[in-house]
């Protein structure tokens, strides 16, 4: 018999905080006299009391604290809240979804890690700084990739720096991957504490996901200590230490990035489960600029035991932090958000997960590469168990959090994210009519260099090798299999025009010719 699911976090909905509310009782002696005079007298008595109450309430109002979970390479369909038939157990993330708002159409700023992380930290499109691929990724194909700026410059204003200006304690744990040397790491970018964040994009030292870690920004624990649990423990320590003042804690998991290594007990659990699942595990996906004839394989069935163990261990770590908030009495006060940096690995590096019905995965501009889990629990703001279908992006965390903290979302240039508060309060509109992507690289996972724009339910994908475009109606074709570009030339023209204007606005770069070889397509051609 399979072991019962482990769970830290309770599923009770958070209480709506009464902080800031004023209950006022005024007794007026009854007796003779004009009632009108009594009303005037009552108002004269009440007015200064009410003004005082408002002043006290404003003075004592506590700025919201924030916990942001960022999971590496987690697919949209890897969480039970988004996939009832999920192979992996994620009870704590599922409970978080039930206690807050689930965004069905949440997106990463890019189909790979570093650019999305740049977008979260700055609220800006990574294309503005040529931070368009994972930092060190310069793979070529038919053409050379666009120039890559492999760091987040110190001049950028991070979400941590903006919150520190408002008196926040700031904390980072886990994967950073935003600069090659120490001068670009978290403590140089606004974070008071850094546990484990440095140049690498994965846990590549020591015993990888187990101590000793060989991580220059984190001490080793007892032999065999599990990395996700350790990062959660460090986050809990920070929260407890700073529980009486506003804080921002970002737990940026190395999980579920390769190398594929799981807790032995959990691996065994999923091996037993996998034996009960039958059917083809892989199908064919397009092969971009092939060196060999054929098609790239894509996983179409979730049953990878090690990956299952890694997902559940991440979920347990999330539960550990949420449990700490509950025990400290902070679960009704602290804002909690959860997302991923790109889609799940389905076409390369072991292809451990399936994103179906979404097409593609990490490294692809199809929905499987950019559509993400996107959860926000905001006590007193979000309705427990609510769902929002409005498209949002990871760049939106910066302005949303900073504005709620009383700050002004300012950077070295344009802030591209928008404040999500209207949606969090139950509205259905934002002052934004499109989301755009720009990925001028050949991905490790086989994805093509290209751009994309979503307007309403329509998504246009543009290939940078030859300028070919595809149009998909996501309301009818979430798997992006039915190209309707030929049926809607007017829509293609309008969306392409807007996308190209956006390229110009962000100073987007494009593919480069190899020596005297053929020239790649350019916008306007």
Burial class from Cβ neighbours inside 10 Å (0-12, 13-18, 19+) for residue 18 reads exposed
At residue 372, φ and ψ (nearest 5 deg) are -130, 160
Q: 419, 429 in Cβ contact below 8 A?
A: no
Place of tokens 């005037």: 40
CA geometry: angle at 492 spanning 489 and 496, to 5°?
Answer: 145
Domain boundaries, the chain: 66-433
Instruction: Provide DSSP, 425-465.
Output: TT----S---EEEEE-S--TTSPPSEEEEEETTEEEEEETT
Q: 192, 169 in Cβ contact below 8 A?
A: yes
Give CA–CA dist 447/363, Å, rounded. 5
Q: Which two tokens stand for residue 195?
A: 């546990």
Other beta carbons within 10 angstroms of residue 165's beta carbon come to 15
pLDDT digits (tens, 9 = 90+) for 101-119: 999 999 999 999 999 999 9
> Mean per-residue pLDDT for 213-232?
96
Give CA–CA dist 385/377, Å, rounded. 10
Non-local CB neighbours of 394 within 8 Å, separated by 6+ positions? 106, 107, 108, 109, 116, 119, 120, 339, 341, 372, 374
pLDDT digits (tens, 9 = 90+) for 419-435: 999 999 999 889 899 99
Q: Which two tokens stand for residue 214?
A: 């060989």
Q: How far is CA 296 from CA 282, 304, 360, 444, 479, in A?
A: 10, 19, 11, 12, 17
State the pairing for strand pair 247-252/193-195.
unpaired
Give CA–CA dist 93/454, Å, rounded. 27
In the predicted structure, residue 19 carries a pLDDT above the cut 80: no
Q: Which residues pair with 439 in a beta bridge?
A: 450
Please tell me the least confidently modeled range out of 57-66, 352-361, 438-447, 473-482.
57-66
CATH number of 66-433: 3.40.720.10
> Mean per-residue pLDDT for 130-154?
88
pLDDT reported for residue 293? 63
> Mean per-residue pLDDT for 390-416?
95
Other beta carbons within 10 angstroms of residue 478's beta carbon come to 17
Confidence of residue 162 (pLDDT cuts 50, 70, 90): very high
Average of per-residue pLDDT values in the chain:
89
Q: For residue 49, which of 18, 20, 21, 26 has the smallest C-alpha distance? A: 26
pLDDT digits (tens, 9 = 90+) for 282-306: 999 887 766 656 678 999 999 999 9
Q: N- to C-terminal Cα distance for the chain?
A: 62
pLDDT digits (tens, 9 = 90+) for 251-276: 999 999 999 999 999 999 999 999 99
pLDDT digits (tens, 9 = 90+) for 55-74: 433 333 579 999 999 999 99
In the predicted structure, residue 224 carries a pLDDT above the cut 70: yes
Please tell me the least confidently modeled range out of 133-142, 149-158, 398-407.
133-142
Give CA–CA dist 90/315, Å, rounded. 5
pLDDT reported for residue 137? 63
Confidence of residue 129 (pLDDT cuts 50, 70, 90): very high
Predicted TM-score (pTM) of the model is: 0.89
> Mean per-residue pLDDT for 323-336?
97
Long-range contacts of 53-59 (CB under 8 A, 24+ apart): 53/22, 53/24, 54/22, 57/20, 57/21, 57/22
pLDDT reported for residue 428? 87
Q: For residue 345, which of 260, 445, 447 has the smallest C-alpha distance? A: 445
User: Which parts of 15-152 are beta strand (E)?
Assistant: 66-71, 101-103, 106-107
pLDDT reported for residue 388? 97
pLDDT reported for residue 497? 98
Helix axes 305-327, 91-99, angle to 10 degrees: 50
Q: Which two tokens stand for residue 412?
A: 């070295």
Give CA–CA dist 254/72, Å, rounded. 6
Q: For residue 120, which of 69, 167, 166, 165 has the smallest C-alpha distance? A: 69
Residues, the chain, total? 525
pLDDT reported for residue 34? 47
> Mean per-residue pLDDT for 384-398?
98
In the predicted structure, residue 33 carries a pLDDT above the cut 60: no
In the predicted structure, residue 14 carries a pLDDT above the cut 70: no
pLDDT reported for residue 31? 39
Q: How far is CA 351 from CA 1, 191, 246, 298, 445, in A?
A: 28, 34, 41, 7, 9
> Mean per-residue pLDDT for 225-250?
98
In the predicted structure, residue 337 carries a pLDDT above the cut 50: yes
- Rounded to a whole number, what is the largest CA-CA distance in the chain? 102
Q: 478, 441 in Cβ contact below 8 A?
A: no
Non-local CB neighbours of 48 within 8 Å, separated by 6+ positions? none
Q: How far is CA 359 from CA 98, 411, 441, 463, 518, in A?
A: 27, 34, 19, 16, 30
Please tell me the least confidently modeled range out of 144-153, 250-259, 317-326.
144-153
pLDDT reported for residue 46? 47
At residue 41, φ and ψ (nearest 5 deg) are -60, -40
Give CA–CA dist 22/18, Å, rounded. 9
Task: Name the CA radius of gyration of the chain, rounded.
Answer: 25
197 sits in the region (left: phi over 0; alpha: psi -120 to 50; else beta) called beta
In the predicted structure, residue 150 carries a pLDDT above the cut 80: yes
Place of tokens 């187990």: 210
Q: In three state form, how does the secondary structure of 288-307 look? A: CCCCCCCCEEEECCCCCHHH
Higher pLDDT: 56 or 243? It is 243
Q: Which two tokens stand for residue 209?
A: 């996901």
Higher pLDDT: 14 or 453? It is 453
pLDDT reported for residue 134? 85
Confidence of residue 22 (pLDDT cuts 50, 70, 90): very low
Q: Which residues pair with 336 in a beta bridge?
A: 67, 377
Q: For residue 260, which of 223, 294, 306, 295 has the smallest C-alpha distance? A: 306
pLDDT above 90 coverage of the chain, percent: 81
């Amino acid at each position: 018999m399979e072991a019962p699911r482990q769970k830290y976090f309770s599923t009770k909905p958070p209480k709506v905080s009464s902080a800031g509310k004023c209950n006022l009782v005024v007794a007026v002696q009854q007796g003779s006299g004009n009632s009108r005079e009594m009303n005037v007298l009552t108002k004269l008595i009440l007015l200064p009391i009410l003004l005082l109450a408002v002043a006290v309430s404003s003075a004592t109002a506590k700025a919201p604290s924030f916990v942001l979970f960022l999971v590496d390479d987690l697919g949209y369909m890897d969480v039970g809240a988004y996939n009832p038939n999920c192979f992996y157990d994620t009870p704590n993330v599922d409970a978080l979804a039930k206690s807050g708002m689930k965004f069905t159409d949440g997106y990463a700023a890019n189909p790979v890690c570093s650019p999305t992380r740049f977008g979260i930290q700055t609220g800006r499109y990574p294309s503005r700084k040529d931070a368009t691929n994972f930092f060190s990724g310069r793979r070529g194909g038919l053409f050379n990739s666009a120039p890559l700026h492999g760091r987040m410059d110190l001049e950028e204003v991070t979400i941590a720096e903006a919150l520190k200006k408002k008196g926040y304690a700031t904390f980072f744990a886990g994967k950073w991957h935003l600069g090659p040397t120490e001068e670009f790491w978290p403590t140089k970018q606004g974070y008071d504490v850094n546990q484990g964040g440095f140049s690498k994009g994965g846990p590549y030292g020591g015993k990888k996901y187990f101590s000793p870690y060989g991580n220059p920004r984190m001490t080793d624990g007892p032999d065999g200590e599990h990395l996700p649990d350790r990062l959660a423990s460090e986050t809990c320590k920070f929260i407890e230490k700073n529980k009486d003042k506003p804080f921002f804690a970002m737990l940026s998991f190395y999980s579920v990035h390769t190398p594929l290594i799981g807790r032995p007990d959990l691996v065994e659990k999923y091996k037993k489960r996998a034996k009960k699942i039958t059917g083809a595990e892989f199908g064919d996906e397009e092969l971009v600029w092939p060196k060999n004839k054929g098609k790239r394989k894509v996983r179409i069935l979730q049953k990878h035991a090690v990956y299952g163990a890694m997902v559940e261990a991440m979920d347990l770590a999330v539960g550990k932090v949420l449990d700490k908030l509950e025990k400290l009495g902070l679960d009704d006060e602290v804002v909690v958000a959860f997302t991923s940096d790109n889609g799940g690995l389905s076409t390369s590096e072991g292809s451990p997960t399936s994103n179906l019905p979404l097409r593609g995965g990490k490294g692809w501009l199809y929905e499987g590469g950019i559509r993400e889990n996107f959860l926000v629990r905001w006590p007193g703001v979000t309705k427990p168990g609510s769902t929002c279908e409005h498209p949002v992006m990871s760049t939106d965390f910066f302005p949303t959090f900073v504005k709620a903290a009383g700050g002004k979302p300012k950077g070295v240039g344009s802030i591209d994210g928008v404040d999500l508060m209207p949606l969090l309060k139950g509205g259905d509109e934002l002052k934004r009519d499109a989301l755009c992507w720009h990925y001028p690289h050949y991905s490790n996972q086989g994805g093509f260099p290209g751009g994309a724009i979503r307007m309403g339910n329509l998504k246009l994908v543009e290939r940078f090798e030859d300028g070919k475009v595809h149009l998909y109606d996501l309301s009818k074709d979430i798997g992006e299999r039915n190209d309707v570009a030929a049926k809607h030339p007017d829509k293609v023209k309008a969306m392409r025009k807007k996308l190209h204007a956006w390229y110009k606005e962000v100073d987007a770069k494009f593919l480069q010719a190899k020596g005297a070889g053929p020239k790649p397509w350019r916008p306007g051609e």
